[in-house]
């Protein structure tokens, strides 16, 4: 690991990308890994294959999916930050049991922490800032595959899950404190909307304190996700001078809500370029904290794009990308989801740049 702070990276706006589908699996992003399996997420992937077979597949994936060359390419095009999703199992056992594990109390493949060490070193080598993101918590915080266990949302129901999550964040902060690449730690990705707000805020305060026990505010930001609720529920929360260098994360997509799915291509561009632009200015004016868009993409519902001629679709995606960038530049920063996918180029920054949907350079 690289010691010291890299002051040349600057402290201004973040223009970044998520390294999704790497240290936390999502089947839609890497379907080849799940070939022949009934598994739908990383937990069932490991449980179905067993530790030895899962390790063989997963370690090969870790080595191939993101490499030093990828960090170099990102730096070359002007991306200056990466958000790295990770699971609560990153340090290996022990971790709390969940019934989805089956007979093996510790099904997850070990060795991810070595990959994370390497990622921070390679990011520092290329001048990239890193936001570490607890993407999958014990018991799953949202019921999505990206939370580790699809269709389960038990994280907030047991103290051992809440406490282990805080412990993982404290260990990350302790391990990487002073690392040249470490810019931020995101406490939890996308806790579901029905996790009680007061419980979530109370846990955020516990987790903030755990990170600050190791990382000074002038060195490392603490990011909290909005939990799919209005920014106004966070007015007065994590405010200075008691709290320093705290950031609110909002995620913006137009492919999940039925009202968005019903939009035509012009409607998507309008919502991004006008409504999201105005929303960004409102959030930053009212919140009292910097905010980022931690996830966004060019992904739209298949019905919106299926019958569109390729040339028209290319132009529409360029306009959609431009409108989103215009809106999200009003925040403290943004992270595209994601760097790479196997089959869905509108969700891949690499593909979107190479196809001309996104700019060739971001600086």
- The residue annotated as part of the active site, out of 186, 190, 233, 281, is 190
Active site residue 326: no
Cα 112 to Cα 69, 99, 213, distances in angstroms: 19, 23, 24
Tell me the C-alpha distance between 231 and 54, whole Å. Answer: 40
Active site residue 295: yes
Say if CB 93 and CB 41 are below 8 A apart.
no
Tell me the C-alpha distance between 150 and 40, whole Å. Answer: 7
Cβ burial 270-288 (10 Å sphere, 16+ → b, else e): ebbbeebbebbeebbeebe
3-state secondary structure of 30: coil
- The residue annotated as part of the active site, out of 295, 309, 326, 329, is 295
Distance of alpha carbon 27 from the chain centroid: 16
Contacts of 360 (CB under 8 A, 6+ apart): 77, 353
User: In sequence order, what E strands does 7-158 have?
Assistant: 14-18, 81-87, 129-136
Residues recorded for the chain: 363
Say if CB 330 and CB 15 are below 8 A apart.
no
Contacts of 299 (CB under 8 A, 6+ apart): 253, 255, 344, 346, 347
Tell me the C-alpha distance between 127 and 7, whole Å. Answer: 10
Say if CB 332 and CB 292 are below 8 A apart.
yes
Residues carrying an active site annotation: 190, 295
């Amino acid at each position: 690991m690289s010691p010291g702070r890299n002051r040349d990276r600057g402290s201004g706006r973040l223009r970044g990308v998520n390294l999704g589908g790497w240290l936390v699996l999502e089947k839609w992003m890497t379907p080849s890994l799940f070939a022949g399996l009934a598994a739908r997420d990383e937990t069932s992937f490991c449980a179905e294959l067993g530790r030895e077979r899962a390790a063989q597949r997963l370690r090969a994936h870790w080595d191939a999916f993101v490499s030093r060359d990828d960090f170099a390419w990102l730096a070359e095009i002007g991306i200056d930050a990466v958000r790295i999703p990770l699971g609560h199992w990153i340090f290996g056992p022990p971790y709390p049991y969940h019934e989805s594990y089956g007979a093996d109390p510790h099904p997850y493949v070990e060795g991810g922490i070595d990959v994370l060490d390497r990622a921070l070193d390679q990011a520092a080598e290329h001048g990239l800032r890193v936001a570490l993101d607890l993407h999958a918590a014990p018991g799953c915080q949202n019921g999505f595959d990206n939370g580790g266990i699809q269709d389960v949302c038990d994280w907030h129901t047991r103290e051992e899950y809440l406490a282990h999550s805080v412990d993982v964040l404290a260990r990350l902060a302790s391990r990487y404190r002073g690392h040249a690449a470490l810019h931020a730690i995101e406490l939890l990705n996308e806790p579901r909307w029905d996790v009680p707000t007061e419980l979530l805020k109370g846990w955020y305060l516990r987790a903030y304190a755990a990170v600050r026990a190791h990382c000074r505010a002038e060195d490392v930001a603490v990011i909290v996700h909005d939990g799919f609720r209005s920014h106004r529920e966070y007015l007065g929360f994590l405010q200075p001078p008691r709290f320093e260098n705290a950031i609110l994360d909002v995620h913006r997509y137009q492919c999940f809500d039925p009202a968005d799915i019903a939009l035509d291509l012009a409607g998507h561009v309008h919502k991004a370029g006008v409504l999201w632009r105005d929303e960004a200015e409102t959030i930053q004016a009212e919140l009292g904290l910097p905010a980022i868009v931690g996830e966004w993409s060019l992904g739209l519902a298949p019905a919106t794009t299926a019958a569109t001629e390729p040339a028209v679709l290319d132009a529409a995606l360029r306009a959609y990308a431009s409108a989103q960038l215009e809106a999200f530049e009003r925040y403290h920063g943004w992270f595209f989801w994601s760097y790479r996918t196997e089959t869905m180029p509108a969700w891949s920054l690499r593909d979107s740049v190479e196809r001309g949907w996104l700019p060739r350079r971001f600086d």
